[in-house]
Structure 1
Amino acid sequence: MLPAREEILRSAIFKTSRSGGKGGQNVNKVSSKVELVFNIETFAYFTDEEKVLLKEKLQHRLDSEGLLHIVAQEDRSQLLNKERTIAKLIDLLKKALIVQKKRKPTKIPKGIIEKRLKNKAVTANRKESRKKPSID
């Protein structure tokens, strides 16, 4: 179960800076790039097991201090970029908290094995009948 958006916003830190790309003069004067910094360890909503799971699944996205950084600079508006970072964070947390079910190995049914062997025998007989007879 994911925490409410407001709880995530309380514990997240937002940093803004000037972004590159389209925008002309707007790019040079407006800080529209938004970086969201989220600390999984200090976020009280998750249990210890969930924190371990999140750290394990998101380890390639965490920095040396265990902080999760998400950056958005696609839009020209700081507000839209902030919304994008929040959406990305929620999506990441959702995907990381999914525990995959363990696969139960199953046996191949006897009927299917017999059917395969029967088809092999039919094919072998068909090919055998195409050969020239031996002169023994």
Structure 2
Amino acid sequence: MELADSNRNIIKDPSLGNIAVEDVSSTLSNGKREFCGSITSPTQTEQGTKKGTARSNLYETCAANHWKPPIFECCKEEGPSHKRKFTFKVIIEIEASRNIIECYGAPHRRKKEAAEHAAEGALLYLKVYRACYEKPINK
């Protein structure tokens, strides 16, 4: 996986496999950029793995945190027409922290597989860096 900061500098993280994640942070009022790392998906519980696709789990995660739904985009098509490969990215806008996370999947022959791979990367990113994006509990 590759991590990229808001200046588009790529940071490689071999532990995440062939998934690229980019955290695009917004500019604060003082002109500085806020950067918070990537988060892994909550697809695993103490009892095991949640059922469903990574895309459905990502939609559920966004809904549970009151974030906007993720946006999936086909950002690259390559190869001849009979061997076309698609690369998808998923965009997650987190309003509370004013961050936008972009996760890129690896190229796949099917669009569904490419989108699923991007969603897996986003979930992994959210799991690793969950503390940066969780809402504080008001008591």
Greater helix share, structure number: 1
Greater Rg by CA: 1
What TM-score results when the alignment is normalised by the length of structure 1? 0.42
What TM-score results when the alignment is normalised by the length of structure 2? 0.41
Greater strand share, structure number: 2
- Larger RCO (CA within 8 A; separation ≥ 6): 2
